[in-house]
Amino acid sequence: MRQTLGWLTALAVAVLLGSGSPLNAQKAKKPDLDKDKDANSEKMIKAGVVVGKVAMIYEDKRKIRLSIAVPTINPGALQSIAQAQLQMRTAQNAQQLLLARVAMMRAQQTLYTYQSQEIELQAVDDVVVRTARPREQVDDKGKVKKLTREELKELKGPDPKLPGYKAEFGDLQTEMVVQVTLVRKKGASAPKPAVRNLKAGKPKDNDADAAADLLTDFQPQVSMVMIIAEPPPSSR
């Protein structure tokens, strides 16, 4: 009997040492809850800045279509630069060196050509819209009103750190020139192509869904729109 009680006592001590006290067990659970909370929160980081002209606004979907200028390298200018560099290295006198430098400058001016391209961007739910200059206000006589310091402070809004002056998403119009700040989810990387099923010759359903989700995570979104220039009077 005594031997049996001894074994039971030793077994109980071992269980207590392995599991710890109830207080320690509660403490061990707290980091897991914090980890889950951090995992559910999405942190966005800056992904770049784009300047373009507003081509279309989808206010209900919070989307903007921008017309941007995409640079393309001019192969002829690139060849001219290479030739000018060679002439600069082999110049025999100051006159030849000067001509080579002039040729270099002319080639650099035509190195890039620009083509218009439209892109569609999704704005975040709490997108910030600002305007570089305060909207003009007119007095009773129809003249542009000169704003006081207090009025400018009110137009700037409660957050003095934000650039420009406060505006709304509904203030955006086509033909406006805007600067768009893009953000993306922290840790999101470039999407990889879906793994193809060699027998069927098509992506597997789960691979295609995973690639679509990854593309969504990588896709940058608009966090701020800065109105740089109003549309011309003819387009209003």
Tens digits of residue pLDDT in 3-38? 444 443 443 434 444 444 444 444 444 444 444 444
- Rounded mean pLDDT, 159-180: 92
Tens digits of residue pLDDT in 55-69? 999 988 999 999 998
Does residue 76 contact residue 88 with C-beta atoms inside 8 Å? no
Residue 217 pLDDT:
55
Beta bridge partners of 45: 184
Answer with the residue of higher pLDDT: 19 or 186. 186
- CA pair distance 230, 236, nearest whole angstrom: 9
Q: Any idea what the Cα angle at residue 99 is, between residues 93 and 102, rounded to 5°?
A: 140
- Residue 183, pLDDT > 50, answer yes
Can you tell me which residue has the tokens 């709304």? Answer: 168
Answer with the residue of higher pLDDT: 158 or 210. 158
- Rounded mean pLDDT, 187-191: 55
Backbone angle region of 224, left / alpha / beta, with phi > 0 → left and psi within -120 to 50 → alpha: beta
Residue 135 pLDDT:
80
Q: Do strands 112-131 and 221-229 pair parallel, antiparallel, or not at all (unpaired)?
A: parallel
Percent of the chain at pLDDT above 70? 67
- CA pair distance 227, 124, nearest whole angstrom: 17
Any residues with CB less than 8 A from the CB of 186 and at least 6 apart, and which?
42, 43, 44, 45
- Rounded mean pLDDT, 182-188: 79
> What spatial distance separates the first Cα and last Cα of the chain, rounded to whole Å?
99
Can you tell me which residue has the tokens 């006198």? Answer: 93
Burial code of 111-125, b = ≥16 C-beta within 10 A, e = fewer?
beeeeeeeeebebee
- CA pair distance 117, 68, nearest whole angstrom: 5
Any residues with CB less than 8 A from the CB of 189 and at least 6 apart, and which?
218
What average pLDDT is seen over the chain? Answer: 76
- Residue 88, pLDDT > 90, answer yes
- Rounded mean pLDDT, 206-210: 47
Tens digits of residue pLDDT in 133-156? 988 777 777 788 888 888 888 889
Percent of the chain at pLDDT above 90? 42
Beta bridge partners of 112: 73
Residue 189 pLDDT:
54
Q: How confident is the model at residue 174 (pLDDT cuts 50, 70, 90)?
A: very high
Question: Computed from CA positions of residues 135, 140, 146, 148, in that sequence, does the dihedral angle turn out positive or negative?
Answer: negative
The alpha helices in 116-199, defined as continuous H runs, are 149-156
- Residue 129, pLDDT > 50, answer yes
Q: Which two tokens stand for residue 187?
A: 């840790």
Does residue 59 contact residue 65 with C-beta atoms inside 8 Å? no
Question: Domain locations in the chain?
Answer: 42-68+123-236
Can you tell me which residue has the tokens 């081509």? Answer: 55
Residue 19 pLDDT:
44
